[in-house]
Structure 1
C-alpha cells in the first residue's frame, strides 16, 4: 500500500515537472520568436567608423532634488491641471506653454511661473481640440502649434494664443481619416512627422512607421527612416445609418515603441526601442551609438506592477480579485521581451539621452536612469532623474518635464541641465 502511494506521488510529481518543463520551453520559444521579429532589428543599415559599443554604467549622477521652476495647476489664477501631455518654451524662453490633454487646453506661464493666459477647449471648431498630445513652437515665427491626435490636425496660434489656424500635415501624403500621424515637431526649416500605416488597411504583421520631413508649408519632402511597429488590430463597423464605430486592440504591453527628438537645425535623434541603440540622422547622413545591454524578459513582477498601476490610476476597473489571478488572466496581453530603450532626448550640446526600462520606478516601465553618450562614441555618466519626474525635452540649459504626486496630480518641473554633468 505504501509502495503504491509512493508511485502515485512520484507520478504526480513527474506530471507536474513535465508541465512546468513544457511551459518553460514554450516561454523560451515565445522569447526567441519575439527577438527574431523586426521590432528588435536595427532600422538603419550603417556602421560608422567611430561607432563602438558603449559600456553600461551603474553609477548615475542625479539631477538636483529641487527644480528651478515648479508649476502647480490651480495655484492663484492658473486653471487646475488635468492630465498633462507636453511642455514647450517659447523662442525667447520667456514663456512656457503647458498642454493639458484632459482639459484640451494650453496654459502659458512666465519665466517665474506666473500664470499669463490660456487658450483651447474641447470641441471640433477652430481653436478647439479632441485629444491634443504634442506642442510645437515654430522657430521661424514663434507661433504655437498643437497637434490633435484624434482630429489628425495641427492648429497654429499666435504666441499670445490668438488667431488659431488649422493645418493638415497629412494632406497629399495619407488620408486623415486613418489617424496615422502620431506626432509632429518643428525645426528651423520645416517639420518632422511620425506616421504609421493604417491598421484598417494593413494587417498587424505588415504595419510599419516612418519619420517624414516636411517643408514649412507642410508638404512632404523626404522620408528619413522607416521602422517596424508593434501591430494594432482594428475593425470598423457601420453601426447604423450615418454612424460608425472603430475598435482598436493595442499592441502587447511593454512591446518596443519608437521614440525620437528633434533639434532646431533639423537633426533627428531616433531610437527604435528594441535594440539598445540610438541614431542621429542629419544632413551629413546617419550615425549610431549602442550600449552593451542585452534585451531582458518581461517578468511576473513587471506584469503585476503594470496591472497595479493601471488600477490605481483608474485606467483599469476590475472586481476585487487576487493580483496573482489577475496577472494570469492578463498575461497573454503582455510582450515577452522588455524594450531596451523607452525614451530618447537630444541636447543642444551634442549628447543623446536614452531611458532604460524599469517597473520599480514606474509601472509603465520608465526608468529614472537615462544613459548618455556623445556622438563621437564617448560614454558619459548616466543621469538619474527625481522620483515621479518624466523629462520631455531639453532646451537651452534646462530639462523640462512633468511630475506627479501621490494622488497622481500632475505638475510642471524644470531642472538645470548643468547639474546633470552634461557638456
Structure 2
C-alpha cells in the first residue's frame, strides 16, 4: 500500500522546529556542513531530457514498462495505478482502481510489459499475490495467483532504502520474482531473499538464485543496516538473468533454469560513507517521520539520537558498489553508482556500463533523472524535482551511442 505519511500534512511547527534542531545537532556531531564527495569523471554526459506531458496525478512511481509499439506504462503507488503514455510522450489514459475485483489492485509492486503488440501487460500485486493482466487497451484479463508463502515488507521500504524487494520481470515465457520470505524492514534484510521463476500460470518452477549462497566464503557483513552492499538483479536479452554479487564485485549471468552461464568482474569507484551521506539520510528520515501528525516529539528525538550515537554500527563504512541495475537491448549490464548528491538513498546520476572492456564505460544522466527502461534510442525513466514532483521522462541516446565500447 502507498505510504500514508506521504499524503498527510506536516506536523505542528513546534515539532518541526524540534526535529530540525535535532538534525542540526547530529550534523554538528558529524561535521557541520559536510560537502558531498567530488564526482568522478564520466565518459558520456547526457544532457537532453524530454518530460512527458498531460498527467499531473503521478506520484510514488514504482516502475515503467515499454510496449513493442513504444507505448509507455507507468505504475504509481495510488489509484489509478497504471498510467499510459503514447510513443510521443503524451498521457492517454489511466486504469487500475483499488480493490479486489476484476481489474482492481491492492498493492501493485511492479509490472512487466507485453511481449508482443497483442499480448497482455502483467502487474505484480503483492497484497493479493496475483499477477494481474490487462490488455493493451487497459481492459482486465484473466490473472493468476502465485502460490508462494508471501512475506512482510514494510510499506515504505522504497522511501528508506535502495534495492527492489518483490520486483517482477519477464524472462522468456515466464517471470522472475524476488521472494522475501523472511520479511524486509531494512536494507540488510535483502540478503535473505531468493529469486523464483514463475510460469505464465503463476506456478513456481523453481529457485534460480538464493542470495544467501553469495555469503559463503565472503567477508562478514557486520552490524550495519544502512548503506550496505546488497545483491541486485535484472533480466537480459537471450533469457538471461544478471545478478550483482556486491561482496566480490562481479556480475553473474544465469539461465532460466538457474545454471550459471558466465561472470564478469566489476571495479567500482570505492569510497567511504561520508558525513554528507549520513546527514542527507538522517534529514530524509526525519522528514518522513514528521509527516505523521500523531508522531510524538519524543520519537523524533529518539530517532535522531539513535542515528547519531550508533553511526558506526548503523551505517556501512564503505559506500555500496551499486544501488540499481538495468540491462540494455544488447545485453549489457548497467550499474548505478552510489551518490547522495541528489538522492538521500544513494541513487546517483552515474551508471557504470559493463561493455566488455576491462574498465567499462561511465554514463552520466541528467540530474534527478532515474532510468527504468533502456531502449535502442534512449532511456525511459522518472524525473523528480526538488519538491518531490515526479514526471515520466525520456533521455535520448545519440546515434551510435555505445555501439562499440566507449
TM-score by length of 1: 0.69
User: Which residue is 1:268 aligned to?
Assistant: 241
Q: Displacement, 1:409?
A: 0.2
- The reply on whether 1:367 has 2:348 as its aligned counterpart is yes
User: Which residue is 1:255 aligned to?
Assistant: 228
Aligned to 1:363, what secondary structure does the other structure show? coil
- Deviations 1:402-422 (CA, angstroms, capped at 9, x unpaired): 111121100011112346932
- The reply on whether 1:99 has 2:75 as its aligned counterpart is yes
Structure 2 residue corresponding to 1:304, chosen from 279, 283, 290: 279
- Whole-angstrom distance in 2 between the partners of 1:107 and 1:206: 29
- Whole-angstrom distance in 1 between the partners of 2:91 and 2:358: 41
TM-score by length of 2: 0.72
- Deviations 1:73-98 (CA, angstroms, capped at 9, x unpaired): xx3xx3521221111111222x1111
Contact conserved, 1:90 with 1:137, CA < 8 A, in 2?
Answer: yes
Structure 2 residue corresponding to 1:120, chosen from 85, 96, 108: 96
User: Which residue is 1:64 aligned to?
Assistant: 46
User: Which residue is 1:328 aligned to?
Assistant: 308
Structure 2 residue corresponding to 1:226, chosen from 210, 213, 230: 210
Contact conserved, 1:273 with 1:342, CA < 8 A, in 2?
Answer: no
Q: Displacement, 1:124?
A: 2.8
- Whole-angstrom distance in 2 between the partners of 1:206 and 1:265: 26
Aligned to 2:277, what secondary structure does the other structure show? helix
Root-mean-square deviation over aligned CA pairs:
3.5
- Whole-angstrom distance in 1 between the partners of 2:180 and 2:119: 28
Q: Displacement, 1:205?
A: 9.1
- Whole-angstrom distance in 2 between the partners of 1:104 and 1:252: 34
Q: Displacement, 1:351?
A: 1.6
Q: Which has the larger radius of gyration?
A: 1
Report 1:106-255 matches (<5 A). Answer: 106-139=82-115, 142-169=119-146, 171=147, 174-176=148-150, 182-199=166-183, 208-228=192-212, 252-255=225-228
User: Which residue is 2:382 aligned to?
Assistant: 402
- Deviations 1:363-395 (CA, angstroms, capped at 9, x unpaired): 111221111112x45433210111111111213
- Whole-angstrom distance in 1 between the partners of 2:190 and 2:284: 31
Q: Displacement, 1:313?
A: 5.8
Change over 3 Å in CA distance of 1:343–1:335 after alignment to 2: same
- Deviations 1:13-49 (CA, angstroms, capped at 9, x unpaired): xxxxxxxxxxxxxxxxxxxxxxxxxxxxxxxxxxxxx
5+ residue gaps, structure 2: 1-38, 155-164, 215-223
Change over 3 Å in CA distance of 1:362–1:350 after alignment to 2: same
- Whole-angstrom distance in 2 between the partners of 1:133 and 1:199: 15
Change over 3 Å in CA distance of 1:330–1:101 after alignment to 2: farther
Q: Displacement, 1:342?
A: 0.9
- Whole-angstrom distance in 1 between the partners of 2:348 and 2:190: 30
Q: Displacement, 1:255?
A: 2.5
Aligned to 2:284, what secondary structure does the other structure show? helix
- Whole-angstrom distance in 1 between the partners of 2:167 and 2:362: 27
More strand by share: 1
Contact conserved, 1:150 with 1:179, CA < 8 A, in 2?
Answer: no
Contact conserved, 1:209 with 1:229, CA < 8 A, in 2?
Answer: no
Contact conserved, 1:369 with 1:385, CA < 8 A, in 2?
Answer: yes
- Whole-angstrom distance in 2 between the partners of 1:314 and 1:419: 46
5+ residue gaps, structure 1: 1-56, 231-250
- Whole-angstrom distance in 2 between the partners of 1:403 and 1:315: 24
User: Which residue is 2:20 aligned to?
Assistant: none
Q: Displacement, 1:360?
A: 2.3
Answer with 265-274 or 359-368: which moved more: 265-274
- Whole-angstrom distance in 2 between the partners of 1:182 and 1:411: 23
Contact conserved, 1:149 with 1:179, CA < 8 A, in 2?
Answer: no
- The reply on whether 1:81 has 2:70 as its aligned counterpart is no
User: Which residue is 1:289 aligned to?
Assistant: 264
- Whole-angstrom distance in 1 between the partners of 2:335 and 2:346: 13
